[in-house]
Amino acid sequence: MIAVNGVIADASLRTRADDAVTFAAALADLAAQLRIAVAFANERCVVLHKAPGLAVHKGPLVEHSVADALARELPGAGLAQRIDREASGLLLVGRDTGSLAALGTAMERGDVGREYLAIVHGVFGDERRTIDLPLSVTDEPRGDRPKTIVDRAHGQRSVSHVEVVDRRKDSTLVRVRLETGRTHQIRAHLAAIGHPLLGDPRYGDRAANDKARATFGIDRTMLHCARLEFPDPATGERVEVTASHEPDFARVFASLRRA
């Protein structure tokens, strides 16, 4: 994966003399084998950079998934966390059962830091806000697709810490740090406070999504796992991995491009 000024680039991009081009040559072979970008790797763990639209798990209509790639190229490896199919960004993988178990334990005790970038509908008023709303997963009304709802009576404690990064007249770029990790937590929490993610077909605002598609070509949920911090399964040393930005994020907020 090649990034120019912090944003993932394709082969058609023309660079200028003052552009900053980054490429992790040491990770190129593993990325080519998996057919998924790799942001970090050692003998015990791998951090993948998942593209939007790539499924994490196998399914009847899924031709290529992260799980398939791991089974094919890294037998015994497994995912320590997951992100939605339409989201992008970092995925933590344990390369063997021992490493995966250690990462799972770290996740359970809250020792894995997960930070996301999201673009939400509307202008976020506060610079910082903690969303502490209990969530439950339901399959209603369709009965075949989970949806997360605020459930003050029976929901699980769910906490998201939100910080504004940038604003436009009709949308806001926010950084979200998860304290808990419930299904669709970020999507449900932000929708619950009136700022659903742009492009989100389930929790979002249809008119805002249509406008974002027409203006910026946005055709997916605007959620990106931008940073992971976790203890190395063998040494306990803290590992921090930061993702490059996706081009569709940078189209809406040009401030993400580093000069």
What are the pLDDT digits (tens) for 40-58? 999 999 999 999 999 998 7
Instruction: Verify cis geometry, omega within 30 degrees of 0, for the bond prior to 60.
Output: no
- Domains of the chain listed by start with CATH number: 2-256 (3.30.2350.10)
In this predicted model, what pLDDT tens digit does every residue of 72-123 receive, in sequence order? 999 999 999 989 999 999 999 999 999 999 999 999 999 999 999 999 999 9
CA distance 37 to 208: 31
CA distance 118 to 222: 6
Arithmetic mean of pLDDT over the chain: 91
- Residue 2: which pLDDT band, with cuts at 50, 70 and 90? confident
Q: Would you put residue 144 in left (φ > 0), alpha (ψ -120 to 50) or beta?
A: alpha
CA distance 82 to 4: 27
Structure confidence at residue 11 (pLDDT): 67
In this predicted model, what pLDDT tens digit does every residue of 173-208 receive, in sequence order? 999 999 998 989 999 999 999 999 999 999 999 999
Q: Does position 259 have pLDDT exceeding 50, yes or no?
A: no
Please give, one letter per residue, the 3-state secondary structure of the chain. CEEECCEECCCCCCCCCCCCEEECHHHHHHHHHHCCEEEEECCCEEEEEECCCCECCCCCCCCCEHHHHHHHHCCCCEECCCCCCCCEEEEEEECCHHHHHHHHHHHHCCCCEEEEEEEEECCCCCCEEEEECCEEEECCCCCCCCEEEECCCCCECCEEEEEEEEECCCEEEEEEEECCCCCCHHHHHHHHCCCCECCCCCCCCHHHHHHHHHHHCCCCCCEEEEEEEEECCCCCCEEEEECCECHHHHHHCHHHCCC
- Residue 64: which pLDDT band, with cuts at 50, 70 and 90? confident
- Is 221 in contact with 197 (CB distance < 8 Å)? yes
- Residue 10: which pLDDT band, with cuts at 50, 70 and 90? confident
Burial class (CB in 10 A: 0-12, 13-18, 19+), 202: middle
Percent of the chain clearing pLDDT 70 (strictly above): 96
Q: Report if pTM > 0.75.
A: yes
